[in-house]
Amino acid sequence: MCFSVLLLAAAELPDPKSAEATGWLIACIGGLVVTAYYGLCTWEKLFPKTTPPAHEVYATKSEMAALEKEHEEEMKRIEHRFEQWLEQQSQQHEESIRELRAWRNELGKWQMGIENVVGKIDTKASLALDQKHPRK
């Protein structure tokens, strides 16, 4: 850059409307763009950007508080559903036990009926045998 300034100072300036002046203007602007590009490249090599950015990796305190609150609400919802499920299971268990007791009572009645019938048959058979063969 300094070289081009010295070169301009050493020579006479061309007519501003000439093609030579336009060429020098374009060359200077190109030089500035190239210098800025290499300056930015050097800056990025000296101070590289972290990937991923910190805002994508770390949470702020307010974000953490919101997440904790959301987590607490979710845990309460899960606990409530679990309590409902336990209550439902308890009711189903009690209903099953009632049905089993009713079936047991019916089975007991049936068994008593069978025992009564068998007892009557046995008694009649004993009487018939005693009449046929009296005991001495």
Q: What would the pLDDT profile of 82-133 be if each residue is shown by its tens digit?
A: 999 999 999 999 999 999 999 999 999 998 888 887 777 767 667 666 777 7
Backbone angles phi, psi at 16, to 5 degrees: -60, -25
Cα pseudo-dihedral 75, 80, 83, 89, rounded to 10: -110
List the domain boundaries for the chain. Answer: 2-46, 77-136
Which among 38, 37, 28 is positioned nearest to 8, based on CA atoms?
28
Say how far apart CA 128 and CA 120 lie, in whole Å. 12
Say how far apart CA 12 and CA 135 lie, in whole Å. 161
Model pLDDT, residue 5: 63
Q: What would the pLDDT profile of 52-65 be if each residue is shown by its tens digit?
A: 887 788 888 999 99
Using alpha carbons, list the distances in angstroms from residue 101 to 22, 90, 96, 113.
108, 16, 9, 18
Confidence (pTM): 0.41
Residue 42 Cα to chain centre, angstroms: 43
Q: What would the pLDDT profile of 33-43 be if each residue is shown by its tens digit?
A: 999 999 999 99
The total number of residues written for the chain in this structure = 136
